[in-house]
Amino acid sequence: MRTIAAFAVMGILLLGPLSHAEPGQKTTRYFSWAALKVNPAKPTDEITAEEAQAREASGKAYYIATYDDVGRILSLQKRFQGATFFRYTYAYPNGEAVRTDAAHPSPK
């Protein structure tokens, strides 16, 4: 019985941060870091919208991730010094993540 309870708690702790939107809706979340050498990229260290605004105002880097209604990442944008540093978008034509584009900013 304790094992089942322990697994239930672990599931809540691990899956809780994955906010699921209503069917067809997207969810936006903010992060301080991201693992970029995996597909799809995995943002980490979630921050609040207020912290993202503070980072934007001070020119510090942060990430904006958009997820679909089942928790799959649709886009990942890095903001740095008040501008988009890069933006990746993803599609899932066969259930596997495929990066569809990588937009980089134009020179200042």
The DSSP-derived string for 59-87 is T--EEEEEE-TTS-EEEEEEEETTEEEEE
Assigned domain for 7 exists:
no
Per-residue pLDDT tens listing for the chain (108 residues): 444 433 333 333 333 444 445 677 899 999 999 999 998 999 999 999 999 999 999 999 999 999 999 999 999 999 999 999 999 999 999 888 888 877 766 555
Residue-number span of the structural domain to which 72 is assigned: 20-103
Assigned domain for 66 exists:
yes
Assigned domain for 14 exists:
no
Q: How many domains does the chain have?
A: 1
Assigned domain for 40 exists:
yes
- What pLDDT score does 68 carry? 95
Burial 31-49 (b: 16+ CB within 10 A, else e): bbebeeeeebbebeeebee
